[in-house]
């Protein structure tokens, strides 16, 4: 009987040892997979996120769910507030940012980022590679492979700047310029809308309030039209310059009636007016003149 018992035990031991070897191999494979997962920075979880992960993976205790949920909700709400603040302060609204970790070692991290969003009405999508290399205490960040996508059908003057910025990888310059350009376009839109509301009979916006052209004409003189052409130009360097010009469309007959420079020289005169009064006041004086109003 004694010998039978020892035989069984030896058999059990052998079976268990085999099972353990198999399990160890499984665990090693799973650990390798997990290490790969951890290389993705986005899903590198810490703090309350790690607690939440532990909960979901089965380390459940009584009352744990509410605690984990409330802590995480609090943190998410703080992050939402933070995002709202950054959006407002930076004047840029981001819809999405996806990151792909291409390389992650102790000293170097290379990621591919795709960021999309809009600045006022201007929609963009930016893709680039970001490398972070640790050099002593500091880390050096560099951008490479910058690709910018924007609907430039309305933005002829923007496209030369865009290709320049992709070449020079000046990501920050792109966003600074985008914002300034957007601000200047908003200035124009506000001014145009303001004048259209104030002088509806004289002012019209044939291309809409976001276009570059505002036309002025007196309803009783349909043949004589003045165009305020307000373009926002962007140099290759990223300098944003609003340029306002006055163009006239006066029939020959009318010009013959007024040989003085007052009508034909209107464009130049407007430039002087611009320099003295600034854009809004200069445009308003022209409007007043066209509307033949008695006010100064």
Give whichever of 167 and 268 is closer to other proteins, judged by the CB atom.
167
State yes or no: residue 156 binds other proteins (CB under 8 A).
Answer: no
User: What is the SS3 assignment for 198?
Assistant: helix
Give whichever of 91 and 242 is closer to other proteins, judged by the CB atom.
91
Residues 191-220 that bind other proteins (CB under 8 A): none
List the one residue out of 241, 228, 221 whose CA is nearest residue 270: 228
Residues 231-250 that bind other proteins (CB under 8 A): 237, 239
State yes or no: residue 13 binds other proteins (CB under 8 A).
Answer: yes
| Residue 117 near residue 124 (C-beta atoms within 8 A) | yes
# binding residues, other proteins (CB under 8 A): 78
If one counts every other C-beta atom within 10 angstroms of the C-beta of residue 152, the result is 15
By CB under 8 A, name the one of 110, 112, 113, 157 that touches other proteins.
113
Smallest distance, Å, CB 241 to other proteins?
Answer: 12
User: What is the SS3 assignment for 119?
Assistant: strand
In whole angstroms, what is the distance from residue 117 CA to residue 108 CA?
28
145: left (phi over 0), alpha (psi -120 to 50) or beta: left
State yes or no: residue 108 binds other proteins (CB under 8 A).
Answer: no
| Residue 139 near residue 108 (C-beta atoms within 8 A) | no
Smallest distance, Å, CB 282 to other proteins?
Answer: 22
Token pair in block for residue 93: 């609204």
Residues 33-92 that bind other proteins (CB under 8 A): 33-34, 37, 42-43, 49, 52-53, 55-59, 65, 68-69, 72-73, 75-76, 79-80, 82-83, 85-87, 89-92
């Amino acid at each position: 009987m004694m010998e039978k018992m020892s035989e069984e035990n030896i058999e059990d031991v052998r079976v268990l040892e085999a099972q353990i070897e198999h399990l160890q191999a499984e665990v090693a494979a799973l650990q390798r997979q997990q290490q790969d997962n951890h290389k993705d920075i986005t899903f590198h979880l810490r703090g309350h996120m790690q607690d939440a992960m532990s909960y979901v993976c089965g380390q459940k205790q009584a009352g744990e769910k509410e605690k984990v949920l409330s802590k995480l909700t609090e943190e998410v709400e703080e992050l939402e507030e933070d995002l709202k603040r950054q959006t407002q302060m930076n004047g840029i609204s981001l819809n999405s940012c996806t990151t792909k970790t291409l390389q992650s070692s102790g000293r170097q991290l290379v990621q591919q980022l795709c960021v999309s969003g809009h600045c006022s009405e201007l929609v963009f999508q930016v893709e680039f590679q970001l490398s972070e290399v640790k050099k002593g205490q500091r880390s050096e960040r560099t951008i490479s492979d910058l690709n910018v996508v924007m609907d430039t059908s309305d933005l002829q003057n923007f496209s030369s700047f865009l290709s320049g910025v992709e070449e020079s990888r000046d990501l920050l310059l792109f966003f600074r310029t985008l914002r300034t350009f957007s601000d200047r376009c908003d200035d124009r839109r506000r001014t145009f809308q303001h004048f259209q509301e104030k002088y509806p009979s004289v002012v019209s916006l044939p291309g809409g309030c976001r276009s570059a052209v505002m036309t002025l004409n007196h309803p009783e003189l349909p043949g004589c039209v003045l165009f305020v052409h307000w373009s926002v130009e962007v140099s290759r360097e990223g300098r944003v310059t609003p340029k306002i010009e006055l163009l006239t469309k006066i029939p020959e007959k009318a010009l013959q009636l007024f040989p003085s420079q007052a009508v034909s020289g209107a464009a130049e005169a407007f430039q002087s007016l611009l320099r003295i009064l600034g854009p809004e006041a200069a445009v308003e004086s022209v409007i007043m003149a066209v509307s033949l109003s008695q006010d100064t």
